[in-house]
């Protein structure tokens, strides 16, 4: 490596904090790689030739840190907090020797080892040269078969470091892509979530597709490759989906070009934690990935030659629900993504009825609650990615104008607070003179709308409206 003296000093700076581990051991993995590159180090892996539990106990005691067992299968322990400058994972040597341990690792840039006692970096697989060349390369051809989650990790780490993927490694990934589904769903979702959280996350999604890992994870997407749409689209179904993911990621990163003065609130909303260590922005990208997943299953051609995808939103929502259940995600994440898929079309339909009344906008917002902002962004991204020969610039501009207006109303209503009614359910039933029943929900919704638009301002107004409503609706 160029400047290898400085790189060695950066790596050696990790050693003092690890002195209490004692015994024979080596710093390995991404922490060492990052130190050599001059990147911030937050996690350090140690391969120990000895009792990992006892070593972790000594390290925790010396730094006033906490510790817990990470893996019974591998005997790994994690030490964190206290005076430690980074989290430390201590694992017994895998395979009985350093040579075997490094040979079992994923990529050469992670198969480096620095002795705890100090000295030169051990490099048995050319990892230092690959760090210098900014290249991701497998330690062994069977690395993906040994742990298929590495297929996703290849994408995440290459994007994280800005490294190119060695052609042979890319070819091996494509050959082994189908193995990905044999991994634990939780591990796959963890890696996918990390990819979705990266800068320009859409590039990671496109790289997953290029390596055929994406369609191994979601096989239904493969059916959209090469499937042409109507003249309003300029890409096939899968290409359109990937472009929507890109637009969603770009809007989330910088909402100002689309949403102008509301941009800070959009960005803050999408940055909110949702579930499974994912934000609302992560869920938005998952919704974009699935929003047209059912188009291949619903494609039809009318006698006039028009291509249709009727009810692809409904079927897509069911498909997303099934996939997310299989991936064992939380209910909250699953329900949010399913809502995004199910409701990604209505705002586009409303463009033809613009300008909209407050009542119409409120009905749309209630239909999309609690993912109003995410659905507005998804709808805009979908519109921007639909730019075929029959699409006019005015069609796109009208859609964006409506999206901005609906978003403005949404934030106005949020700031206003809940609509407070002078009558609760019992009061409505009493005013109408009927026992409570299924009708009551519709009456309360109608009353709320009248209050929202300012036509009901008092209790007397509310009683009068409810009686009139009942005379019209309950005969």
Query: Residue 22: is its pLDDT beyond 90?
Result: no
pLDDT of residue 188: 97
Predicted confidence band of residue 133 (pLDDT cuts 50, 70, 90): very high
Query: Residue 466: is its pLDDT beyond 60?
Result: yes
- Summarize pLDDT for 225-240 with one digit per residue, the tens: 999 998 889 999 999 9
Query: Residue 156: is its pLDDT beyond 60?
Result: yes
pLDDT of residue 1: 58
Query: Residue 3: is its pLDDT beyond 60?
Result: no
Confirm if 458 and 447 have CB atoms less than 8 A apart: no
| Lowest-confidence pick of 3-7, 68-72, 227-231, 257-261 | 3-7
DSSP 253-305: H--HHHHGGGHHHHHHHHTSEEETTEEHHHHHHHHHHHTTTTHHHH-EE-TT-
pLDDT of residue 232: 83
SS (H, E, C) 319-379: HHHHHHHHCCCCHHHHHHHHHHHHCCCHHHHHHHHCCCCHHHHHHHHHHHCCCHHHHHHHH
Alpha carbons within 13 angstroms on the beta-carbon side of residue 89 total: 16
**Residue 48, class by beta-carbon neighbours within 10 Å (0-12 exposed, 13-18 middle, 19+ buried)?**
buried
- Summarize pLDDT for 383-396 with one digit per residue, the tens: 999 999 889 999 99
Confirm if 466 and 426 have CB atoms less than 8 A apart: no
Mean pLDDT (whole number) for 44-64: 95
Mean pLDDT of the chain: 95
Query: Residue 367: is its pLDDT beyond 90?
Result: yes
DSSP type of residue 119: -
**Residue 127, class by beta-carbon neighbours within 10 Å (0-12 exposed, 13-18 middle, 19+ buried)?**
buried
Collapse the DSSP code of 165 into the 3-class scheme (helix H, G, I; strand E, B; otherwise coil) and give the result.
strand
Q: What share of the chain is helix, strand, coil (3-state, %, to 5)?
A: 60, 10, 30
Query: Residue 2: is its pLDDT beyond 60?
Result: no
Q: How far apart are CA 456 and CA 449, in angstroms?
A: 9
Predicted confidence band of residue 416 (pLDDT cuts 50, 70, 90): very high
Query: Residue 339: is its pLDDT beyond 70?
Result: yes
Collapse the DSSP code of 130 into the 3-class scheme (helix H, G, I; strand E, B; otherwise coil) and give the result.
helix
Mean pLDDT (whole number) for 349-377: 97
Query: Residue 442: is its pLDDT beyond 80?
Result: yes
Query: What share of the chain has pLDDT > 90, as a percent?
Result: 93
Query: Residue 93: is its pLDDT beyond 70?
Result: yes
Confirm if 403 and 349 have CB atoms less than 8 A apart: no
Phi, psi of 14 (to 5 degrees): -75, -20
């Amino acid at each position: 490596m160029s400047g290898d003296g400085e790189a060695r000093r950066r790596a050696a700076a990790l050693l003092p904090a690890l002195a209490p581990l004692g015994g024979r051991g080596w710093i390995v993995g991404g922490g060492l790689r990052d130190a050599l590159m001059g990147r911030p180090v937050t996690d350090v892996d140690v391969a120990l030739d000895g009792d990992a539990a006892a070593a972790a106990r000594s390290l925790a005691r010396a730094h006033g840190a906490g510790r817990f067992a990470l893996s019974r299968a591998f005997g790994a322990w994690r030490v964190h907090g206290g005076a430690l400058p980074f989290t430390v994972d201590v694992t017994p040597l895998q395979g009985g020797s350093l040579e075997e341990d490094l040979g079992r690792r994923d990529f050469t840039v992670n198969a480096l080892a620095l002795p705890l006692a100090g000295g030169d970096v051990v490099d048995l697989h050319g990892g230092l040269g690959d760090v210098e060349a900014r290249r991701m390369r497998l330690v062994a051809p069977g690395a993906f078969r040994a742990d298929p989650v590495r297929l996703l990790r290849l994408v995440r780490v290459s994007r994280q470091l800005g490294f190119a993927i060695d052609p042979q490694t890319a070819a091996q990934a494509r050959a082994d892509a189908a193995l990905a589904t044999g991994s634990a769903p939780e591990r796959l979702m963890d890696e996918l979530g990390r990819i979705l959280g990266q800068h320009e996350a859409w590039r990671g999604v496109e790289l997953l597709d290029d390596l055929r890992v994406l369609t191994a994870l979601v096989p239904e997407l493969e059916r959209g490759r090469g499937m042409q749409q109507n003249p309003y689209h300029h890409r096939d179904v899968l290409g359109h989906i990937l472009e929507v993911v890109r637009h969603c990621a770009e809007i989330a990163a910088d909402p100002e070009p689309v949403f102008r003065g509301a941009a800070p609130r959009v960005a803050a909303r999408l940055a909110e934690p949702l579930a499974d260590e994912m934000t609302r922005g992560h869920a938005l990208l998952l919704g974009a990935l699935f929003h047209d997943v059912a188009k291949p299953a619903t494609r039809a051609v009318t006698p006039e030659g028009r291509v249709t995808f009727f009810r692809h939103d409904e079927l897509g929502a069911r498909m997303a629900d099934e996939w997310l259940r299989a991936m064992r995600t939380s209910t909250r994440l699953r329900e949010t993504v399913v809502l995004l898929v199910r409701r990604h079309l209505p705002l586009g339909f409303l463009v033809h009825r613009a300008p909209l009344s407050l009542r119409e906008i409120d009905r749309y917002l209630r239909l999309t609650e609690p993912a109003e902002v995410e659905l507005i962004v998804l709808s805009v991204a979908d519109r921007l990615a639909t730019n075929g020969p029959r699409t006019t610039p005015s069609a796109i501009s009208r859609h964006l104008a409506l999206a901005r207006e609906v978003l403005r109303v949404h934030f106005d209503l949020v700031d206003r607070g809940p609509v407070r009614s002078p009558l609760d359910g019992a009061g409505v039933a009493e005013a109408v003179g009927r026992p409570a029943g299924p009708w009551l929900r519709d009456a309360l919704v109608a009353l709320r709308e009248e209050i929202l638009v300012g036509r009901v301002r008092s209790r007397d107004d509310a009683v009068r409206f409810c009686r009139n409503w009942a005379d019209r609706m309950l005969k």
